Amino acid sequence: MAHLLVVESWVGSMSRLLPRAVREGGHEFTFLTRDLHHYLRSAPEGTSHPLLAARNVLTAETNDLDSLLPTVERLHGALGFDAVVTSCDYYLPTVARIAARLGLPGPTPGSVEDACRKDRTRRVLGEAGVPGPRFAVCADRAAAGEAARELGFPLVVKPVDLCAGMYVRRVDDERQLADACRAIADFPRNARGQVRASALLLEELLDGPEVSVETVSFGGTTQVVGVTDKSLGGAPAFVETGHMFPAALAPDDAQAARDTAVRAVGALGLDSVVAHTEIRLTAAGPRVVEVNPRPAGNRITELIRHVTGIDLAAVCVDVALGRAPDLRRRETGLRSAAVGFLVPDTAGTLESIEGADRVRAEPPVLEAQFAEPGRTVKAAGSNNEYLGHVMAGDAEGLGARARVETLLSGLRPRVSAR
């Protein structure tokens, strides 16, 4: 039995998947957070709170690395940790620093920091010749205006250190660019209270469908688990409206995406990680959107387990422990699985979701979860505003997405004005 230190977590599906993987592997974990109340507002996506399985729940200032490292050293001396992990993007660099400090397995801190900062990822991949969009890193709005005139509209403007598509916007002119830059500047701290970088990233708008490549790197070798497709909506934002695994791609396109992801992971120097690399399949070939040094979110990890039997949360635990992961596929009875999200386009208060009970009862449904009436609704500008999701599989082929879209079409959110 191993003892893992879990530093912070998301409060969505990965808050369940990672503790479950620890338990199913026969291990135990200590949870460390700066704000326990963040996790106690509700039992996430179920009645049994995942923190009930923790051996210890401890508090420390996880946003202050200088004080955190000696604190964790003392905890390590008393409790003895075999690995350190997190499911929250904002603490991936912190976990890498802790692992290095304690002499535990894990990726190098520099590689994780480069992957978690979109501007640094662009520079590293560009120097390595890994294809991506033309881009500019800008210190402020004025610099962004100058860079936009050089790159040419339309463009995508991004914060360099947020996730879930927050404040990522398509801009078609200088007025839209100024509005997007202002919105980013008005969000100086992320959802965990960490001070954000002020830099802005401008990128050319890429054409073509977007996919993600799920990989596992261990012992200097990167293996591809598969390619997932993605549907987007919410323009001018880039809101993920659904995914299917495996992606319905021509073999050459799938292989090109796989090869590009492996190159990107290697260029960043990532090892001992499960990674989720997003790629646009443009007319000129694959272009890397970003590299995330953690298992895929937004239900992709569950889709992969439904189809292949591979649990990427468990793989994440194994590589964190310095153990070779088991990536053998198992027969599950499904050839594809898909998820679709209920994305609100109006603001107000949720009164009901008509059709929810019928959808839950449909035979192909693997999961169907919806927001409760009374919830405050915002028009979606990122992946954080969903009103629910539906997941379904197909035992015969790549029909899972069509099944999910049919199910979603029967749902009618009723939102009253505030």
Distance in angstroms (rounded) separating the CA atoms of residues 113 and 135: 19
pLDDT tens readout for residues 55-67:
999 999 999 999 9
Phi–psi pair at 237, nearest 5 degrees: -80, 175
Indicate whether 46 pLDDT > 60: no
Indicate whether 362 pLDDT > 90: no
Predicted local distance difference test score (pLDDT) of residue 40: 82
| Range(s) within the chain of domains with CATH label 3.40.50.20 | 2-104
Indicate whether 380 pLDDT > 80: yes
| Range(s) within the chain of domains with CATH label 3.30.470.20 | 207-332, 335-417
pLDDT tens readout for residues 112-163:
999 999 999 999 999 999 999 999 999 999 999 999 999 999 999 999 999 9
Q: Provide the CATH number for the domain formed by 133-204 in this structure.
A: 3.30.1490.20
CATH of region 207-332, choose from 3.30.470.20, 3.40.50.12780, 3.40.50.720, 3.40.430.10: 3.30.470.20
- What average pLDDT does range 101-119 have in this prediction? 98
Q: By mean pLDDT, which of 3-12, 81-90, 255-264, 301-310 is the weakest?
A: 3-12
Four-CA torsion 5, 297, 320, 121, nearest 10 degrees? -110
Phi–psi pair at 152, nearest 5 degrees: 90, 140
Q: Provide the CATH number for the domain formed by 335-417 in this structure.
A: 3.30.470.20
pLDDT tens readout for residues 265-286:
999 999 999 999 999 999 999 9
* Higher pLDDT pick, 123 / 10: 123
What is the DSSP secondary structure assignment for residue 36, as one 8-state letter?
Answer: G
| Range(s) within the chain of domains with CATH label 3.30.1490.20 | 133-204
Phi/psi-derived region of residue 103, left when phi > 0, alpha when psi is between -120 and 50, beta in every other case: left
* Higher pLDDT pick, 10 / 347: 347
pLDDT tens readout for residues 296-335:
999 999 999 999 999 999 999 999 999 999 999 999 999 9
pTM higher than the cut 0.85: yes
* Higher pLDDT pick, 124 / 41: 124
CB 412 within 8 A of CB 353: yes
2-104 under CATH 3.40.50.20, yes or no: yes
Q: By mean pLDDT, which of 14-18, 46-50, 231-235 is the weakest?
A: 46-50
Phi/psi-derived region of residue 193, left when phi > 0, alpha when psi is between -120 and 50, beta in every other case: left
Phi–psi pair at 195, nearest 5 degrees: -70, 130
Distance in angstroms (rounded) separating the CA atoms of residues 311 and 21: 8
